[in-house]
Structure 1
Amino acid sequence: MSAARPGEFELIKQFFAPLAKNPGSVGLTDDAAVLSPRDGYDLVLTKDVLAADIHFFADDAPEAIAAKALRVNLSDLAAKGATPRGYLLGLALPKDWTAEWLERFCNGLAADQAAYDIDLFGGDTIRSSNGLQVSITAIGEVEAGNAVRRCGAKPGDQLFVTGTIGDAAAGLKARLDPEFCRRSRLDEDQEKHILDRYLLPRPRTRMAPIIAKYASASMDVSDGLLSDARHIATASAVDMHIDLEAVPLSMTMAHIKEAAPETFFSCLNGGDDYEILAAVPAQDAAAFAADSEVAGCRVHAIGRVEEGTGGVHLSKNGAPLAAGQSAGFRHF
């Protein structure tokens, strides 16, 4: 038998108050939290809303849904060079929610709070008539004036990306199409790898101070590598030149490239990577790469910034390529 569902105020006290350890949140006993930025620092705020069967599957583990909702926001903060401080949570629960589900969801939040040194500041919980929705506003801090925008890329900068690209989009294809792994000739470990990368992003929070120190422009790769490169190019009024052979791939994506080339490019620009794409002045490129390695996050140089008007130009070992038809993830 399922445990009885608590009312609104008991729900807050039982599930969410234990997550609110910052003094400014007063244990969620007031209508708002009070946060004082440190002297010499700016606050950086970002929000992502995740909806069932759009950004995750309704039957995913509650712990994983909570982690993904929090981590996609931490990824945005890292790309701005900001260190996370806390977050606000908006939770729209479907009519069939249970206390057991909510306890597991909060366990997922608690685990990531410990992993990323962040606390719940407050939020709201409502009933949804259209499935589960999770909205998180994350708050970070960066030394005053040092937040890294999209609009700062300059001709001569080198383009870098963290981690590997395309795994999460391949994982989504595997969730939507049971035959994808068979057609791509993936073994059990390879299938597990791409499913895990889709379900559980790995925000590059250790990169935040390095991004703030070196990058002239930066953003996280959420809509797709080429799409997000175009976002930076447009905001900075420059062109991006990317060598597809330099884009870092996991062993699984390298396998898909050979076994299923017809789907490889769509995975490469499919989104949900939550890596960081950064433009770095050429004179700082070596130091940027070295500091990233020390922080435990290898970066790869994938191209350069040139004068232009917002274009993205692709090459393969120096030979120009057409961009293809994949435009990255679109919400509408």
Structure 2
Amino acid sequence: MKIQLSIAVCFLLALSVAGCRKELKTGKGPSDPFNAADKNAKVEKNVSALSVAGPFTDWSGKVSVVLVSTDFGPGDLVQGSVTVADDYVLVGGGAYNYQGEPGSFLTGSYPSNDLRTWYIESKGRPGVTPYYLACYAIGLKIEGLSSADLRNYIRLTSATSGVASQPSASASLTGSGYTLIGGGAKVNWSGAGNFLTDSHPTGTDNAWYVASKDHITSSPASITAYAIGITKDIPNFGTLDIGSDLATLVPQCLSVNEGSIAVKIPQGWVLTCPGGAARYRQYGRMIIGMYPTLNFSSSSANLKTGSSQQWDCGESTVYAMRIQKLR
């Protein structure tokens, strides 16, 4: 069964079974990774039961990933995080928004500095119906290596833009000896909010590109890009093969507001990180959800985009980063 379906089941059970959710302790100090700058927003970190799927292995059986997920909410500003087990290293993650009519958009989907935890955040437009947000973290394991040993072959880098209405940034691994396998984005917003439009690999540049925009109300912000890379050649193991896939949804502008698209990775590979881009014509389209689906028959990256109040159309492109042992 696909992971998003199992989470949906937990979500439905949570509505009817008392005690399915518990209150998380909300960070209040400088160590809090979230930027809950809208003082009028209702911040929710209620969390459901944790779901762990996998491990899923490549063709060799020596490269494996696990998917950890849970859901948070309801609220109009929803934040959450999930942590991979100690024997895995975080390489990617994502978020899925359980909502009807678009009105809330991602403002963060990014890794912790120690590559253990994936953070997510979504902010609603004025009047949005409270919603739930699912958080996903993908952990990587390589046979014969402890997580501490594997961490020595993985690098995390970041870059932050200046403040603008439509900020963008790119975190590059070029010349570092590491190859991109994942990345994330964090909008450093305040006031009315600034929402994700891009978080994805940039072709052959070995970099992760991110961008965001304010919507209707002027609200400049900066944005931080994160890039996760790995050394291809690992002593006493062999060589890793890294690839990516993408798919683009061309919108029917007269009949649809939301756009959803998925891309499957080839058999024999494992998914490391999803990415996405929302294009628009005039007012703006933003990312509602960007998340992985992993199972034993196939794995895919998924993207959901939309506009709010000022309707707009545009292409939606989903990206999937993948890895295997070189054949």
- TM value normalised by structure 1: 0.26
Name the structure, 1 or 2, with higher relative contact order (CA <8 Å, separation 6+).
Answer: 1
User: Whose helix fraction is larger, Structure 1's or Structure 2's?
Assistant: 1
- TM value normalised by structure 2: 0.26
User: Whose strand fraction is larger, Structure 1's or Structure 2's?
Assistant: 2
Larger Rg over CA atoms:
1
